[in-house]
Amino acid sequence: MTEREPIGVIGTGYVGLVTAAGFAELGNEVYCVDIDADKIGQLKRGEIPIYEPGLAELVDRNRERLHFSTELAPALEHARLLFVAVGTPPTYSGDADLSAVHAVVDAMPPSDRHALVMKSTVPSGTGVAIKRVFADRGKGGFSYVSCPEFLKEGSAVADFLHPDRVVVGDDGDWAGDAVVDLYAPLDAPLVRTDVASAEMIKLAANAFLATKISFINEIANVCEEVGADVAEVAKGMGLDERIGPQFLRPGIGYGGSCFDGGETVLARRHGRTELLRLDRLWDRLEGEHGQWEPGVVEPENLEVLSWVPGVDAPEFLPVMALTRRDYDGELLEVRTKMGRRIRCTPDHPWVASDGAGGESAIKLADQLTSHDWVPLAMGRREGLLPSEVTSLLGAVEAAEVHPERFIVRFGAERAAEVAARPIEERRRIFARPGPRTGDVKRTGAMRLEEAAAAEVPMRDVRLATARNGNFTPTSLPLDRALWRVVGLYIAEGCASFRHRNGVRLTWSFNLETEQHLVDEVVAFWVRHGIRAHSHRKATAHAVTVESRLLGTWWTKVLGLGRNCSEQRLPDLIWDRPNEDKWALLSGLWEGDGSWSLVNGGPSVILEYGTVSDELADGIHRLLGDLGIVASQRIGRVAKSTKDTYWLRVAGADQIERAIDLVPERDRVGVLASIARQTKRIAPTGYRRFGDGPAWVRVTDVRREGFDGPVYSLEIPAAHTIVTSHGIIAHNCFPKDVSALKQLAGNSGYHFQLLTAVIEVNELQKRRVISKLQKHLGSLVGREIALLGLAFKPDTDDMREASSLVLAGRLQADGARVRAYDPVAEDAARPLMSGVDFSDSALRAVEGADAVVLVTEWPEFAELDWAEVASRMRGDLVIDGRNALRSERVTAAGLAYEGIGRH
């Protein structure tokens, strides 16, 4: 055996250790370096820090040839080739963190006999950048080789010894040859190329594998729709040797960073918005959809409140997947100024900034320090159009009372009309025996099921159960008065479910000081024709309303709690206009909140205390919607077994904006007090820069052991979620997808494959529009000529033709569209209204601002471009198929744009 070359390996993690042991097995002396002294200590003692089948044996067998150190010197002394295998973890949107690589580069001495051999996965262009650094620092003699690693954890030893291929990218000097010689005994296919291509091979391979997964996921969705079995489909596809069976297992292989199940999201489904804990959201979705694969639910129509970094207000965005997995390890509680806390796994990414208005970056929970500031959601983009009234009929079902026990009262006139209907019809309506017609005329009322059979309109009618007879309207206006009463209930109310009389709602007010609130609540119900009683008890002045229907609606449909510990905000409030949110909060504060002077004034604070964590979360979020940042203190009051959440609003500007939370009669005094402040003190605890989120500083990151389920969400459009108390966190990193993101981030190209191939196709169509807009600005009034309409040449098939989408979008943007297709015109006409059809390409381009080649019919390649140019008004040609000879087009004085080509 010829003498084998000694090598150095820098970084003894997964890749480094396998590479080192592998080369030692081939007979090389290997000098390993790592900055992690513990790891080096373990390795020196013969312990293997990671588990990988076969690795321990390999290391053990070659101990003589493996040398471990925390110093670079031995490697530099004995080896020419220094393999770099340090970590390059993805940061936000895929940029690789190259700090470890740069540390290695910086540590290299000037040398003419050494080469860095890059095994770490790095963005394309890294090799060029490193060589430039070497040249600038007088180390130009250093050689550089890119030798990307393709091993898979779990089969890494086998992958090293029997690689599918070895890729060596170099500048054609001694170093490349030396690396090729090193791998020669493995007898693997070799790709010897330049550095940039070698880098790109690794990134493109990662991206392709991720695409394959995305693709089969989309197929899986379609399979569900059509009742096919995706496993069968994948098998059938994989047997095509051009496709191959690997990587066609659907599911995204989640298992990355996660939240504790107690953290919350504002979720919107089927037009309804709810504040939900992640564990409850999971239970509900899992029940409805089943698990897509163990631990993954891909919900339909689920949106959560999210925030696109850089945009002012948060908005609802679709959720691609929700996951749950068992986790046994450390959980971190990230605590911030203003009293917010979130629990997540140490590798959970956060959006963090310097608190001075600088760019935000992504940091893992583990890396957060008290120098980091995290965002709080402020304001809200209005979503659904809120309705003016709400129907109480939904409660009929929820009340679990048989419809025959509901009585509908609709007045003498309509009752007489029903009573006068022909006998056969009355028999059908009044299926129950007895002389019902007389009763109906006398009382102006009948049973709900009779009313349904008689098809009486349910507007302007009143409903009650047979037993308690408190007739309620079938709808209530969603006005400020209602939200005030709801707010007062959350502060002071409870609901009791009684055996005979249905449900009793009670508001309890202070005997001495709250007569006006008693009056307000009674007047509200009386105004809607609902009986309400007020009575003075020993300790409180109570208002009660007894109605099974109303009480059921109140608790089950509107979703209010039955007592103080389960109080929560009603779901409906999330989609209401700001004035309704203020009304609810003013009722809440007036019922149980307070305002006070700080140290006798002039500063004022507003405070609200609750034992319901759900309510505290809701109030923080609702105040956030209104642009107010509250602080929170959590504590126990004497004898209580539950935490109390104290919410506090401070700062002159905030108090002024939240003046609705002060009882009306005190407002003038409060405003006057703030006005006495000699200078406005900047808000403490948080910062705002313009209209965006507020930022609060991280104060502490606590660690605790945890064994239980953890949850993650993926929101592809923003990658963030507004979680508990309005804190905005990054969404989780699903493991396998990060490789794809890495390519995306590195190349500056916005790679949209995450949500699958179909979306990419859609984007492709949109790209033509953006190219047109880039050149023409607004498309209003522009004349756009489409050449070719068919789905592909040599057919008149218009199914799936991108011309349909394109023409529709152009028209929607105000452009006028004319088109020519040698064959497909007849098929296209009925599908494309408003499009002008021409009988030749040259006619179609007459007076056009731009020409778009949509279908690559051969005749278009032969067009006389000088003639085209003379007929057009503008000069833009977009080649949607890359089918034209660009130099011919530009020679005619036209501007040419292809797709992904210059």
CB 303 within 8 A of CB 595: no
Q: What's phi and psi for 81, nearest 5 deg?
A: -95, 120
The least distance separating ligand NAD from the CB of residue 742, rounded to whole angstroms, comes to: 8
| 47, 97, 103, 371: which one binds ligand NAD (CB under 6 A) | 103
The least distance separating ligand NAD from the CB of residue 27, rounded to whole angstroms, comes to: 23
Residue 571: how many CA atoms within 13 Å on its side-chain side? 20
First to last CA, the chain: 52
Q: For residues 267 and 279, give the distance between their C-alpha atoms in angstroms, rounded to a whole number.
A: 13
- In the window 67-86, what residues touch ligand NAD (CB under 6 A)? 85-86
* Part of the chain binding ligand NAD (CB under 6 A), chosen from 33-41, 138-146, 225-233, 358-366: 33-41
Q: Is omega for the bond preceding 602 within 30 degrees of 0, making it cis?
A: yes
The yes or no reply on residue 206 touching ligand NAD (CB under 6 A) is no
The yes or no reply on residue 731 touching ligand NAD (CB under 6 A) is no
The least distance separating ligand NAD from the CB of residue 360, rounded to whole angstroms, comes to: 24
Dihedral angle over CA of 269, 270, 273, 275, nearest 10:
-40
* Part of the chain binding ligand NAD (CB under 6 A), chosen from 8-16, 524-532, 619-627, 629-637: 8-16
How is residue 8 written in tokens?
């150095």
* Part of the chain binding ligand NAD (CB under 6 A), chosen from 10-18, 139-147, 502-510, 716-724: 10-18
How is residue 512 written in tokens?
């001495």
Judged by CB, which is closer to ligand NAD: 99, or 773? 99
The yes or no reply on residue 104 touching ligand NAD (CB under 6 A) is yes
Q: For residues 573 and 619, give the distance between their C-alpha atoms in angstroms, rounded to a whole number.
A: 11
Judged by CB, which is closer to ligand NAD: 10, or 304? 10
Judged by CB, which is closer to ligand NAD: 12, or 552? 12
Judged by CB, which is closer to ligand NAD: 127, or 618? 127
Judged by CB, which is closer to ligand NAD: 156, or 220? 156
The yes or no reply on residue 13 touching ligand NAD (CB under 6 A) is yes
CB 675 within 8 A of CB 638: no
Q: How many CB atoms lie within 10 A of CB 239?
A: 10
Q: What's phi and psi for 587, nearest 5 deg?
A: -65, -45
Instruction: Report in angstroms the alpha-carbon separations of 419 from 336, 341, 409, 437, 458.
Output: 68, 64, 14, 5, 17
The DSSP bridge partners found for residue 507 are 493, 543
In the block, tokens 């019809």 appear at 425
| 12, 146, 353, 508: which one binds ligand NAD (CB under 6 A) | 12
Judged by CB, which is closer to ligand NAD: 88, or 802? 88
The yes or no reply on residue 806 touching ligand NAD (CB under 6 A) is no
Of 168, 145, 178, the closest CA to residue 3 belongs to 178
The yes or no reply on residue 123 touching ligand NAD (CB under 6 A) is no
The DSSP bridge partners found for residue 703 are 332
DSSP class of residue 90 equals B
Active site residue 258: yes
Judged by CB, which is closer to ligand NAD: 103, or 239? 103
Residues 6 or more apart whose Cβ sits within 8 Å of residue 818: 783, 784, 785, 786, 835, 836, 837, 838, 844, 848
- In the window 126-155, what residues touch ligand NAD (CB under 6 A)? 149, 151, 153
The yes or no reply on residue 35 touching ligand NAD (CB under 6 A) is yes
The least distance separating ligand NAD from the CB of residue 108, rounded to whole angstroms, comes to: 11
The least distance separating ligand NAD from the CB of residue 639, rounded to whole angstroms, comes to: 52
Active-site residue among 258, 344, 564, 732?
258
Q: Minimal CB distance to ligand NAD: which residue?
A: 13
| 40, 82, 98, 100: which one binds ligand NAD (CB under 6 A) | 100
The yes or no reply on residue 120 touching ligand NAD (CB under 6 A) is yes
| 74, 87, 685, 808: which one binds ligand NAD (CB under 6 A) | 87
Interface size with ligand NAD, residues (CB under 6 A): 25
CB 384 within 8 A of CB 571: no
Residues 6 or more apart whose Cβ sits within 8 Å of residue 368: 334, 350, 352, 374, 698, 701
Q: For residues 700 and 786, give the distance between their C-alpha atoms in angstroms, rounded to a whole number.
A: 60
Judged by CB, which is closer to ligand NAD: 149, or 821? 149
The yes or no reply on residue 354 touching ligand NAD (CB under 6 A) is no
* Ramachandran sector of residue 400 (left: φ over 0; alpha: ψ -120 to 50; beta: rest): left
The least distance separating ligand NAD from the CB of residue 493, rounded to whole angstroms, comes to: 56
Q: What's phi and psi for 29, nearest 5 deg?
A: -75, 135
Amino acid at 667: R
The least distance separating ligand NAD from the CB of residue 90, rounded to whole angstroms, comes to: 9
| 33, 81, 543, 807: which one binds ligand NAD (CB under 6 A) | 33
Judged by CB, which is closer to ligand NAD: 120, or 731? 120
Instruction: Give catalytic residues, as residue numbers.
Output: 258
Q: Would you tell me which residues interact with ligand NAD (CB under 6 A)?
A: 10-16, 33-36, 39, 85-88, 100, 103-104, 119-121, 149, 151, 153
